[in-house]
Amino acid sequence: MDKGKVLDKPVAILGGGAIGQTLAADFALEGFRVRLCDLPEFASQSLGEVMETRKIELGGVQSNLKHFSRKGVAEITIVTTDMSEALQGAGLVIVAVPGVGHELFFEHMIPRLEDGQVVSIFPDNFGSLVLRAMMRRKGCNAAVIIGGWHSAPYGTRLLKPGTVNCTIREVNQIYDAFPSNDRKEFFEALRDAPIFSGVSEFIRADTAIGVGIANANSLVHVPGSILNVGAMEVSQAEDILAPKGQWDMYKHGMSPSVSRVQMAFHHEERTIMEALGLRMVPEYPDRQFFSKFSVMAPEYFIPFGVATLSGTIVGPNSIDHRYFTEDIPIGTVARYHIARTLRVEVPVIKSMIDLGSIICERDFLGEGRSLEKMGLEGMSKEQMIRYLKEGTREK
């Protein structure tokens, strides 16, 4: 696959939220032909007037080690709710939707995928596994490269449709293709994309599972939110600690006791990777968990992370926040199921799922990212490794 030909074609960005609009503006300001697509049921709220103006203003501090920023009003080539219009003839296809929305978007994508396309998922959250499994079940044989990244390239917020405030450009990006045999082609197709202008280092993960576990959201958000749910709810009801809507888990909820649970969660992640015989990246030292900003400080390389982010990245402000409703059923449940099939005990991870289900009155274990959804059901460790690396399923 010729990486030049991939980026010479239009770029399709699926998802009209903060990440999708920031990606679209970043590409468009560098002269790429960009097609931004959200599904009809979401577009009126997410994209709003952008459907008509096709303009997105990219601003914000954009902190990164390279001191790079790209700002301005970008004109998007096509803004649409028609998946066919977005994908036909595109080279790079970027999925920029929450993990809870992957299956819905994949349903629309799969019949329209074309040979030679590169599909990139931000963040992956085991989504590349889900996409391949759905393609197989639907009999889709499109010759596409699929891969994912541990995180979106930005810390960014949507001020309103068409106006994004990019606070941080991710310093390190952890990636792999699925199967890993496609890694070189996947990376070469994307490494020069303008969305990585602030990246100092690309780090290869050990398989798509390694990419999923490298995402720190479950590790930080889930214990931090569950263990502070009482203080968060009272604060939002009575304006204690923070004005309503301004509860900040990092500012108001991080303590040594919470940090110990996050550290224990990370130790269980490491045990999962060790059981698979895979290299874990990143592997945080215990002392990092006792920073006020936890492991998100080295994640974004923000030595003064709380001061930098205070007032810009807040939450959760209710149990309907994504720290509960995405990070538990997607990242945390996937970790649990993988551990279980390897006969690895993960009591901290399991307790977070159980408590989160009670708090949110949902069955996160039943509705979450299962082995079946990831295409890993019924596999031994050896079969799983072969599948992750080669894409080969043994009967």
Q: Is residue 112 very low, low, confident or very high in pLDDT (cuts 50, 70, 90)?
A: very high
**67: region left, alpha or beta (phi > 0 left; psi from -120 to 50 alpha):** left
For residue 375, pLDDT over 90 is answered with yes
* pLDDT digits 0-9 by tens, 237-285: 887 888 887 888 888 888 999 999 999 999 999 999 999 999 999 988 8
In this structure, are 197 and 264 located in the same domain? no
CA-CA-CA-CA torsion sign (182, 187, 193, 199): positive
Indicate whether 184 belongs to any domain: yes
Q: What is the mean pLDDT of the chain?
A: 93
* Residue 305 pLDDT: 45
* Residue 171 pLDDT: 87
In this structure, are 201 and 232 located in the same domain? no
Report the C-alpha gap between 77 and 75 in whole angstroms: 6
In this structure, are 188 and 221 located in the same domain? no
Last residue of a domain, one of 193, 212, 231: 212
* β-strands 72-75, 55-59 pairing: antiparallel
In this structure, are 88 and 126 located in the same domain? yes
Indicate whether 395 belongs to any domain: no
For residue 59, pLDDT over 80 is answered with yes
Alpha helix segments (H runs only) across 148-216 = 183-190, 207-214
Indicate whether 62 belongs to any domain: yes
* Residue 304 pLDDT: 47
Indicate whether 151 belongs to any domain: yes
**361: region left, alpha or beta (phi > 0 left; psi from -120 to 50 alpha):** left
Indicate whether 384 belongs to any domain: yes
For residue 387, pLDDT over 70 is answered with yes
Exposure pattern of 311-330 as b/e (b: 16+ CB <10 Å)? eebbbbbbbebbbbbbbbbb
In this structure, are 175 and 203 located in the same domain? yes
In this structure, are 238 and 309 located in the same domain? yes
The pLDDT of 205-225, averaged and rounded, is 97
* Residue 122 pLDDT: 96
CATH number (domain holding residue 313): 1.10.1040.10
In this structure, are 196 and 320 located in the same domain? no
- What percent of the chain is modeled with pLDDT above 70? 94
* Residue 120 pLDDT: 98
Q: Considering its fold, how many domains does the chain have in total?
A: 2
Determine if the peptide bond prior to 179 is cis (ω within 30°): yes
The pLDDT of 2-13, averaged and rounded, is 85
For residue 183, pLDDT over 80 is answered with yes
Last residue of a domain, one of 186, 212, 238: 212
In this structure, are 171 and 310 located in the same domain? no
Domain membership of residue 152 as a residue range? 3-212
* Residue 142 pLDDT: 97
Report the C-alpha gap between 195 and 27 in whole angstroms: 7
HSE (side-chain half, CA atoms, 13 Å) at 103: 14
* CA distance between the termini of the chain: 30
* Residue 313 pLDDT: 67
* Residue 315 pLDDT: 85
In this structure, are 9 and 142 located in the same domain? yes
Indicate whether 234 belongs to any domain: yes
In this structure, are 144 and 175 located in the same domain? yes
* Residue 307 pLDDT: 40
* pLDDT digits 0-9 by tens, 305-352: 444 444 556 889 999 999 999 999 999 999 999 999 999 999 999 999
Place of tokens 């224990």: 264
For residue 290, pLDDT over 90 is answered with no
Indicate whether 327 belongs to any domain: yes
CATH number (domain holding residue 145): 3.40.50.720
Report the C-alpha gap between 112 and 103 in whole angstroms: 15
Last residue of a domain, one of 212, 229, 259: 212
* Residue 237 pLDDT: 86
* Residue 236 pLDDT: 85
In this structure, are 255 and 200 located in the same domain? no
Q: Which of 115-129, 170-184, 278-292 is the least confident region?
A: 278-292
The pLDDT of 184-200, averaged and rounded, is 95
In this structure, are 200 and 264 located in the same domain? no
